[in-house]
């Protein structure tokens, strides 16, 4: 309890310091630990007095905002002007506030501050807005959601975004444990991207904002390490013919694979006049090496027409689709891969999203 109180006071002190660092802004603690809210602040912005009622939280997500906004605004309406005079303003302070929660707070004109330094004070006649990167704790939490087995759950939710899924169904669909599926679903509920129905073991969820989830994944791509590529040159092979030969070689060796990037996107939604390289994920093992050898491929550092990403497990090949006799990575995976590509790959990604993904 004492540690929690110290953390809250540290956040309040950070908020006061951030306000005081701005030109023509004065900020003082007026009253602490009131029964119905955490603190009251007396602000002066360019001669405009503002009385602020402040609620302090550890973390705030979209699903938390509605109740918090109703509570703190109701308190602000009931409070008389403070010692400084002026209007009563509702402000929410938290160690971390998710981007979606910030959008909702701005829409409701409720002030906020987080430990990353983002600040919003929407008073009449005095408007303060400072937008900074999210605090490291929130960044780490979000990044972990889009990597490893947790990412497999998100992949499944996007592919089956029109369906209602229980924890067990989702775990089986995405090759993860029920505990992992449940953790991801809980995090998604906090972000307000899911709808729920039922209770207990029969509870099901439905992804109601697939575009928001995919956009959030895109934002995390820059912080996720690129997979290593092994580059090869296969003589006397054009990309289309190489895709067919690759598929035949893998199937002959009993190796699972999935073509991605431009070659796959061109099959899903043609965009370029030609592609120069085939990139695929290949399940690790001696069978994959043998299949590559069967193609007569040789390792090169430049001029490659075949690039291979080693798939660690079947989870890396989830939701692949067979098109024209060749296994392609799912449109979601191809889209994400293209956004990390070169040349016109990003244009091709947006074309694929419009024509094939649809959200």
> What is the DSSP code string of 250-287?
HHHTT--EEEEHHHHHHHHS--SS----EEEEEESSHH
What per-residue confidence (pLDDT) applies to 262? 95
33-47, 200-214, 309-323: which has the minimum mean pLDDT? 33-47
| Average pLDDT score, the chain | 86
- Taking residue 319's Cβ as centre, other Cβ atoms within 10 Å add up to 18
> Which residues form the domain of 254?
229-357
> Is the pLDDT confidence value at 193 over 50?
yes
> Is the pLDDT confidence value at 113 over 90?
yes
Q: How many helices (H) and strands (E) does the chain have?
A: 13, 17
Tally of structural domains, the chain: 3
Q: Where are the beta strands (DSSP E) in 149-228?
A: 165-166, 194-197, 204-207
Q: Which of 139, 69, 154, 84 is nearest to 333 (CA)?
A: 154
Q: pLDDT, tens digit, for every residue of 11-42?
A: 888 999 999 998 888 888 876 555 545 688 88
**More confident position, 135 or 260:** 260
* CATH code of the domain covering residue 66: 3.40.1350
Among residues 223, 246, 281, the one where a domain terminates is 223
- Domain identity same for 239 and 347: yes
Q: To 5 degrees, how large is the angle CA 264–CA 266–CA 268? A: 70
Identify the band that residue 214 occupies on the pLDDT scale cut at 50, 70 and 90.
Answer: very high
Would residue 88 count as lying in a domain?
yes
What per-residue confidence (pLDDT) applies to 4? 45
Identify the band that residue 232 occupies on the pLDDT scale cut at 50, 70 and 90.
Answer: very high
Would residue 139 count as lying in a domain?
no
- Domain identity same for 112 and 217: no
What per-residue confidence (pLDDT) applies to 138? 64
| pTM score, whole prediction | 0.74
Mark residue 303 as left, alpha or beta (left: phi above 0; alpha: psi -120 to 50; beta: remaining).
Answer: left
Q: Which of 284, 283, 296 is nearest to 329 (CA)?
A: 283
CA distance 264 to 135: 37
Tokens of 176: 């993860």
- Domain identity same for 244 and 307: yes
Q: To 5 degrees, how large is the angle CA 59–CA 61–CA 64? A: 95
């Amino acid at each position: 309890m004492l540690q929690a109180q110290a953390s809250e006071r540290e956040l309040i002190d950070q908020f006061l310091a951030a306000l005081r660092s701005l030109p023509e802004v004065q900020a003082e603690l007026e009253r602490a630990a009131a029964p119905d809210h955490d603190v009251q602040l007396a602000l002066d912005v360019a001669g405009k007095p503002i009385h602020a009622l402040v609620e302090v939280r550890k973390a705030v997500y979209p699903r938390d905002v509605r109740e918090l906004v109703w509570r703190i605004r109701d308190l602000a309406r009931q409070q008389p002007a403070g010692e400084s005079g002026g209007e009563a303003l509702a402000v929410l302070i938290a160690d971390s506030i998710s981007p979606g929660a910030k959008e909702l707070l701005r829409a409701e004109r409720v002030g906020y501050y987080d430990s990353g330094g983002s600040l919003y004070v929407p008073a009449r006649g005095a408007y303060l807005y400072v937008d900074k990167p999210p605090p490291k704790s929130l960044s780490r939490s979000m990044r972990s959601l889009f990597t490893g087995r947790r990412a497999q759950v998100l992949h499944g939710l996007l592919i089956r975004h029109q369906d209602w899924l229980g924890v067990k169904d989702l775990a089986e669909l995405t090759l993860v444990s029920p505990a992992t599926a449940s953790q991801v679903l809980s995090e998604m509920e906090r972000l307000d991207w899911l709808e729920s129905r039922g209770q207990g073991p029969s509870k099901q969820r439905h992804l109601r904002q697939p575009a928001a989830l995919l956009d959030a994944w895109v934002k995390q791509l820059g912080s996720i390490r690129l997979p290593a590529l092994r580059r090869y040159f296969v003589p006397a092979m054009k990309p289309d013919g190489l895709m067919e030969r690759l598929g035949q070689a893998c199937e002959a060796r009993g190796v699972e694979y999935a073509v991605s990037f431009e070659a796959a996107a061109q099959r899903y939604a043609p965009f370029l006049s030609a592609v120069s390289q085939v990139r695929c994920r290949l399940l690790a093992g001696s069978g994959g090496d043998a299949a590559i050898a069967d193609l007569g491929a040789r390792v090169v550092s430049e001029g490659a027409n075949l690039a291979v990403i080693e798939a660690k497990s079947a989870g890396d090949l989830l939701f692949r689709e067979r098109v024209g006799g060749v296994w392609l990575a799912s449109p979601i995976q191809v889209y994400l891969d293209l956004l990390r590509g070169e040349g016109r790959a990003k244009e091709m990604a947006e074309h694929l999203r419009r024509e094939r993904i649809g959200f």
